[in-house]
Amino acid sequence: MTPLDDITGLVLAGGRGTRMGHVDKGLQAFRGASMAQHVMRRLAPQVGALAINANQNLDVYAAFGVPVWPDQLTGFEGPLAGLATGMARCATSLLVSAPCDSPFLPPDLVARLHQALTAAGADLALAETDEPGPDGAPRIQPQPVFALVRTAALPHLAAYLAGGGRRMDGWYGSIAVARVRFEDASAFRNINTLDELRQCEPE
């Protein structure tokens, strides 16, 4: 058993898909499969188990062969609600999240996050990239949806959600965080609209 076997990969597909015309983003066809399936294929070799967080089309997601966990909070409360559900339900001590609309995620995402988490003795490790700022100069862009977290940190997240917090980068101020800089920012790009989906379709 390797350390990565104690990690569950959670595909976050619990949104309404508002920017994509109110369709289920994770189920949109992309290069011969759904976007969620592409994310699953990228994560599967990096983790010991997989699950999907979804709030609609549950039977369709279940056909992918992994557990499907709807939000414990009702009302489509965003990716943090999905993360909290995954942390509560997974059987591993670590959980890594990735959104269903980011089919290009790095093949070494989990290994690098895990290395940083372990080295720092942190509760959470998150990805960062360099992005051009308003003046064209590079700036650090956190990627908090791509995060590896100890499930023991769930009380901190639950308290943040109970207080009405919903920002993905707003809950971890009270825990130890490690940050990992990834050079290829394009690996973290997400597909938000149907036009973007069509533009990314060619191999």
Residues annotated in a binding site for Mg(2+): 101
Single-letter amino acid code for the residue at 47: V
Say if CB 188 and CB 127 are below 8 A apart. yes
Task: Report residue 127: phi and psi, to 5°.
Answer: -85, 150
Q: List the structure tokens of 56.
A: 């609609």
Q: Residues near 103 by Cβ (< 8 Å), separated by ≥ 6? A: 30, 31, 35, 38, 39, 42, 191
Residues annotated in a binding site for GTP: 12-14, 25, 53, 71, 101
Return the axis-axis angle of helices 35-43 and 109-120, rounded to nearest 10°.
Answer: 50
Residues annotated in a binding site: 12-14, 25, 53, 71, 101
